[in-house]
Amino acid sequence: MTVAGSDSGGGAGIQTDMRTFALLGVHACVAVTAVTVQNTVGVSDFVAMSPDIVAAQMRSVVTDIGVGAVKTGMLASGPIIDAVASTADELDLGNSRTVPLVVDPVAASMHGDPLLAAEAFDALRTNLIPRATVVTPNLDEVRLITGIDVTDAASQHDAVRALLDMGAQWALVKGGHLRSSTQSPDLLSDGVEDHEFTTERIATGHDHGAGDTLAAAITAALAHGYSVPDAVRFAKSWVTEGLRWAYPLGAGHGPVNPMWRVSEE
């Protein structure tokens, strides 16, 4: 299940999560949190759902269909974060519970347009990150959540540590925004084991939805029973191929191509 916002441009959010889940052989259920007015150039507006309706969608799916893993993406507001956190407890989702919960702490679009209210970061830190089986921030989100400016391997380790101290079971700090690097290094840790997943940086302006694709592929792999490190290893290779097959669209950033395997065939 994905708990996320709609991207009218079809390059991120629910639309990307559903394509990724389908290609990875899991049925996609959805709790819609917000509808964004979005294209390849930016997000011009959004409307959030009521927290009760987000919680009710989660409850409706879990009590009838059941879920193998849950991913959160754009949550829009503090009250929605609080509702998702308490519903996760009620439905036995998250850190140390039965069903893995992947928290992609979406704060802004890649164009820099906000997707989360500024006053919602406390709720993210104190209510959702402690419930995460794995939390997957990019470097901008890391700065907003922990105050740490990641510029190298040492500060990436510090950021992982800070997220684990907030209570996440595993933290994955993504290096996709280290634009000066020739590589795209992601660091995963639970405080005991460190795993580095590094690929060559792909020269593409079409990288919209990379974070969603990665987190959705982690979620699908967890639903199939992979361990967290194996799920992240698989998802990193999946998104790397998606970036290789990304395509131009509109006047801005085209989408990562979650259909790459079909395109290849």
Ligand X SMILES: Nc1ncnc2c1ncn2[C@@H]1O[C@H](COP(=O)(O)OP(=O)(O)OP(=O)(O)O)[C@@H](O)[C@H]1O
Which of ligand HMH, ligand X, none is residue 214 near (CB under 5 to 8 Å by kind)? ligand X
Judged by CB under 6 A, does residue 242 bind ligand HMH?
Answer: no
Judged by CB under 6 A, does residue 202 bind ligand X?
Answer: yes
Contact positions with ligand X (CB under 6 A) in 231-260: 236, 239-240, 243
229/254 with CB nearer ligand HMH: 254
Q: Taking contact as CB under 6 A, which single stretch among the options 64-72, 84-92, 102-110, 163-171 is the one that binds ligand HMH?
A: 102-110
Q: In this structure, what are the phi and psi dihedrals at residue 100, rounded to the nearest 5 degrees?
A: -65, 145
CA distances 60 to 31, 51, 55, 65, 254, Å, are: 9, 14, 9, 8, 34
Judged by CB under 6 A, does residue 177 bind ligand X?
Answer: yes
* Binds ligand HMH (CB under 6 A): choice among 93, 106, 116, 132: 106
Q: In this structure, what are the phi and psi dihedrals at residue 26, rounded to the nearest 5 degrees?
A: -125, 145
CA distances 208 to 82, 178, 197, 213, Å, are: 28, 16, 20, 9
Which of ligand HMH, ligand X, none is residue 240 near (CB under 5 to 8 Å by kind)? ligand X
Binding mask 209-238 for ligand HMH (x = CB under 6 A): x-xx--------------------------
Q: How far is the CB of 91 from ligand HMH (least distance, A)?
A: 22
With 0-12 / 13-18 / 19 or more C-beta atoms within 10 angstroms meaning exposed / middle / buried, residue 47 is exposed
State how beta strands 194-200 and 134-135 pair.
Answer: unpaired
Residue type, position 19, single letter: R
* Residue ranges of E strands in 100-219: 101-103, 134-135, 170-173, 183-189, 194-200
Footprint on this chain of ligand HMH (rule: CB under 6 A): 4-7, 12-13, 36, 38, 73-74, 106, 109-110, 115, 209, 211-212
Rule CB under 6 A: which residues touch ligand X? Answer: 12, 110, 138, 174-177, 184, 186, 199, 201-202, 204, 207-212, 214, 236, 239-240, 243
